[in-house]
């Protein structure tokens, strides 16, 4: 019964001839939460792209609820329940805010009304075009858009990057509300180590495309030497 | 009393609407899918021959043949898309040009083999051949109907692209194909449908063109030139742009032949060069 929602077995992947990820294995249970930490360029984004099916998979396999999805094209993975929030947000610029949400929508608990309730600012700006939004609003829209697909797993790629602290707080609160619903798992890639570990229960740290460390998030929070060695200390300076 | 210029404008606009039907699909495939389909007018020609067969040989009413012309071109394009085009989406421009120009040559040869190189006469009912008098000028019924069909299709296309979920998906896929896939949109299918729709409209244009410009196997090449002019002047991927460009070019072509017959069919090229020097990306083009 304890079939994981998503599991990666010895995944080796990259772009064309370039190999970025080496032998990465990990699991995310239903409603689980996993932080993916590591310095710039270690392969965090590549890991998420590999889960979506956008990279060249050279070895290993991925399974979704026990079924192999290694060869499944990205749109079928998304339709199967993986929601993706890209690092660059990638809002569709020539679609309005509401159209950005509608193109992604699939039946489920997250309707347009529910999503607007979570992000009231988006409701105010529903008629604006995608390219007229501030960075914080774009991030809200990217998360809201992924929610509209009613995913069982949400992949978040540095959602707090480059945002003002008040906006970060707002987003953290929204993600907590989203998780409190109890029907969604997340993989959270973050440079804000403290926030990432607070929002998740498990964590992995990547180094040069491989898993260098695994721990429960609350243990890793206290393990300053490891964090210092593998992530570099943002922890000490941020709140 | 209306001066004759209104008659020239009317004929020119009707001709422009024909060019619009023939080219809007090409504009969409080039602009949205970045696929260079030089066989576009072969699908138009197919629509023309299907109509000739149904009307002349099987005695179908002209208006009943039009949807079949649309369907035949759309289905043929899907067959080509599935088997050949799809393999070349990521190939170089040259590969796409070579494949599709080859298909055009084959279609021309096939049409000449089956239907001979003679012009195909189309037996239209008398009421379509008549004209309406209005303030001293005669307006051909057929051209009025052609304009009506083209306007209705323009409205339908714009509404479909701007106000439906399918249209929004197409625009999303054009904006950012990877993100669209990542949200579960079947981009290949959306593009294939768009391609079929564009080819179907070309087939409809081919059927409607017979009465205005005739039909013989050279159609696939002759009108390819006009279509490419409309697409480059209008701007890639822009329905409004294709519409405006087709209207301007249709009117200047007819006006040129009427007022400066020495220049004859050459004026349309001068207009193209002028417009492209003024707006290199086309009237409504973004790139
Ligand atoms: N499209 C690409 N083609 C080739 N190499 C890439 C591409 N994207 C990223 N890389 C390389 O893969 C490595 C990991 O990048 P990335 O996954 O973006 O790291 P992170 O998200 O952890 O900062 C880097 O060395 C980067 O240069
Ligand atoms: Mg990254």
CA of B186 to the centre of ligand 2 (A): 26
Say whether pLDDT at A170 is over 80: yes
Give the number of the ligand closest to the Cα of residue A161: 2
Residue B287 forms part of a structural domain: no
**Chain B touched by A104 (CB under 8 Å):** yes
Residue A93 forms part of a structural domain: no
What average pLDDT does this structure show over B215-229? 92
Residue A13 forms part of a structural domain: yes
Tell me the residue range of the domain where B22 lies. 4-278
| pLDDT for the residue numbered B28 | 82
Q: How many residues does chain A have?
A: 239
Question: To the nearest whole angstrom, how far is the Cα of B51 from the nearest Cα of chain A?
Answer: 38
Q: Taking CB atoms and an 8 Å limit, are A92 and B184 in contact across chains? A: no
Tell me the residue range of the domain where A22 lies. 6-81+151-230
| pLDDT for the residue numbered A239 | 43
What whole-number distance in Å separates Cα of residue A64 and Cα of residue A48?
14
Q: How many residues does chain B have?
A: 287
Name every residue whose Cβ is closer than 8 Å to that of residue A166 and which is 6 or more positions away in sequence.
Answer: none
Q: Tell me, what CATH number does A191's domain have? A: 3.40.50.300
Question: To the nearest whole angstrom, how far is the Cα of B224 from the nearest Cα of chain A?
Answer: 30
What whole-number distance in Å separates Cα of residue A203 and Cα of residue A222?
13
What whole-number distance in Å separates Cα of residue B270 and Cα of residue B278?
12
Nearest CA to ligand 1 atom 4: A15
Nearest to A100 by CA among A122, A119, A80, A121: A122
What whole-number distance in Å separates Cα of residue B30 and Cα of residue B231?
9
What whole-number distance in Å separates Cα of residue A217 and Cα of residue A34?
8
Name every residue whose Cβ is closer than 8 Å to that of residue A223 and which is 6 or more positions away in sequence.
Answer: A215
Residue A20 forms part of a structural domain: yes
What whole-number distance in Å separates Cα of residue A142 and Cα of residue A134?
12
| pLDDT for the residue numbered A89 | 93
What whole-number distance in Å separates Cα of residue B71 and Cα of residue B215?
19
Q: With a 6 A CB cut-off, is A44 part of the ligand 1 pocket?
A: yes
Residue B286 forms part of a structural domain: no
| B176: nearest CA partner in chain A | A92
Q: Are A181 and A204 in contact (CB under 8 A)?
A: no
CA of A234 to the centre of ligand 2 (A): 17
Structural domains of chain A, count: 1
Residue A218 forms part of a structural domain: yes
Q: Report pLDDT digits (tens) over B21-60.
A: 999 988 888 877 788 889 999 999 999 999 999 999 998 9
What average pLDDT does this structure show over B257-272? 77
Say whether pLDDT at B281 is over 80: no
What whole-number distance in Å separates Cα of residue B257 and Cα of residue A219?
84
**C-beta neighbour count of B61 within 10 angstroms:** 10
Residue B285 forms part of a structural domain: no
Say whether pLDDT at A235 is over 50: no
Residue B67 forms part of a structural domain: yes
Give, in order, the Cα–Cα distances in Å from B210 to each of A153, A237, B35, B62, B141: 56, 77, 28, 11, 15
What whole-number distance in Å separates Cα of residue B169 and Cα of residue A95?
9
Structural domains of chain B, count: 1
Say whether pLDDT at A197 is over 60: yes
CA atoms within 13 Å, Cβ hemisphere of B220: 27
- pLDDT tier, A202 (very low <50, low <70, confident <90, very high otherwise): very high
What whole-number distance in Å separates Cα of residue B32 and Cα of residue B30?
6
**Residue from A18, A189, A207 to probe ligand 1 pocket by mutation (most atoms less than 8 Å from CB):** A18
What SS3 string covers chain B? Answer: CCCCHHHHHHHHHHHHHHHHHHHHHHHHHHHHHCCCCCCHHHHHHHHHHHHHHHHHHCCCCHHHHHHHHHHHHHHHHHHHHHHCHHHHCCCCHHHHHHHHHHHHHHHHHHHHHHHCCCCCCCCCCHHHHCEEEECCEEEEHHHHHHHHHHHHHHHHHHHHHHHCHHHHHHHHHHHCHHHHHHCCCCHHHHHHHHHHHHHHHHHHHHHHHHHHHCCCCCHHHHHHHHHHHHHHHHCCCCHHHHHHHHHHHHHHHHHHHHHCCCCHHHHHHHHHHHHHHHCCCCCCCCC
Name every residue whose Cβ is closer than 8 Å to that of residue B181 and which is 6 or more positions away in sequence.
Answer: A54, A73, A74, A75, A78, B187
Q: Are B104 and B42 in contact (CB under 8 A)?
A: yes
Question: What does R_g of chain A's alpha carbons equal in angstroms?
Answer: 17
Nearest to B153 by CA among B11, B251, B40, B24: B24
Q: Report pLDDT digits (tens) over B95-152.
A: 999 999 999 999 999 999 998 888 888 888 888 888 887 777 788 889 999 999 999 9
Name every residue whose Cβ is closer than 8 Å to that of residue B47 and which is 6 or more positions away in sequence.
Answer: B69, B70, B72, B73, B202, B203, B204, B205, B206, B207
Residue A194 forms part of a structural domain: yes
Residue B284 forms part of a structural domain: no
Residue A113 forms part of a structural domain: no
What whole-number distance in Å separates Cα of residue B71 and Cα of residue B65?
10
| pLDDT for the residue numbered A238 | 45
Q: Report pLDDT digits (tens) over B172-190.
A: 998 899 999 999 999 989 9
Q: Tell me, what CATH number does B116's domain have? A: 1.10.3470
Q: Are A206 and A44 in contact (CB under 8 A)?
A: yes
| pLDDT for the residue numbered B1 | 60
What does pTM read for this prediction?
A: 0.86
Residue A217 forms part of a structural domain: yes
> β-pairing, A33-37 with A202-207?
parallel
Q: With a 6 A CB cut-off, is A149 part of the ligand 1 pocket?
A: no
């Amino acid at each position: 019964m304890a079939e994981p929602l998503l599991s990666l077995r010895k995944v080796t992947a990259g772009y064309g001839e370039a190999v970025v990820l080496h032998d990465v294995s990990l699991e995310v249970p239903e409603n689980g939460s996993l932080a993916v930490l590591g310095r710039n360029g270690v392969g965090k984004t590549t890991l998420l792209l590999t889960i979506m099916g956008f990279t060249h998979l050279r070895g290993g396999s991925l399974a979704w609820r026990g079924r192999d999805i290694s060869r499944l094209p990205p749109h079928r993975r998304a339709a199967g329940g993986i929601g993706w929030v890209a690092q660059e947000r990638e809002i569709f610029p020539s679609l309005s805010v509401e159209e950005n949400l509608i193109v992604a929508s699939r039946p489920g608990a997250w309707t347009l009304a529910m999503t607007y309730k979570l992000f009231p600012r988006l409701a105010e700006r529903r008629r604006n075009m995608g390219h007229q939004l501030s960075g914080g609003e774009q991030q809200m829209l990217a998360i809201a858009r992924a929610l509209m697909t009613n995913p069982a797993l949400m992949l978040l790629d540095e959602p707090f990057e480059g945002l003002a602290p008040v906006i970060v707080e707002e987003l953290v609160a929204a993600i907590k509300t989203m998780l409190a619903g109890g029907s969604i798992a997340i993989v959270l890639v973050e440079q804000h180590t403290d926030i990432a570990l607070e929002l998740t229960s498990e964590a992995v740290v990547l180094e040069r495309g491989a898993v260098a460390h695994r721990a429960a998030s609350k243990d890793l929070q206290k393990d300053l030497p490891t964090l210092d060695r593998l992530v570099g200390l943002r922890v000490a300076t941020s709140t | 009393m209306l001066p004759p210029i209104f008659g020239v404008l009317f004929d020119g606009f009707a001709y422009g609407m024909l060019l619009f039907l023939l080219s809007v699909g090409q504009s969409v495939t080039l602009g949205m899918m970045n696929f260079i389909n030089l066989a576009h007018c072969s699908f138009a020609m197919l629509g023309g021959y299907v109509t000739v067969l149904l009307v002349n040989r099987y005695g179908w009413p002209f208006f009943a043949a039009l949807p079949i012309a649309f369907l035949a071109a759309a289905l043929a394009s899907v067959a080509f898309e599935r088997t050949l085009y799809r393999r070349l989406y990521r190939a170089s421009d040259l590969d796409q040009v070579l494949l599709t120009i080859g298909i055009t040559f084959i279609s021309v040869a096939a049409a000449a083999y089956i239907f001979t190189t003679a012009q195909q006469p189309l037996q239209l009912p008398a009421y379509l051949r008549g004209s309406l008098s209005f303030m001293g000028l005669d307006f051909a019924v057929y051209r009025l109907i052609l304009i009506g069909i083209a306007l209705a299709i323009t409205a339908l296309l714009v509404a479909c692209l701007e106000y439906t979920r399918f249209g929004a998906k197409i625009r999303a896929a054009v904006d950012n194909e990877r993100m669209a896939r990542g949200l579960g949109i079947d981009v290949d299918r959306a593009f294939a449908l768009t391609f079929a729709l564009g080819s179907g409209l070309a087939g409809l244009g081919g059927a409607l063109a017979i009465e205005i410009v005739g039909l013989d196997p050279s159609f696939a090449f002759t009108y390819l030139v006009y279509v490419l002019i409309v697409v480059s002047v209008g701007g890639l991927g822009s329905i409004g742009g294709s519409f405006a460009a087709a209207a301007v070019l249709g009117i200047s072509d007819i006006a040129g032949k009427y007022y400066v017959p020495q220049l004859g069919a050459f004026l349309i090229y001068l207009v193209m060069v002028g417009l492209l020097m003024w707006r290199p990306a086309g009237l409504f083009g973004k790139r």
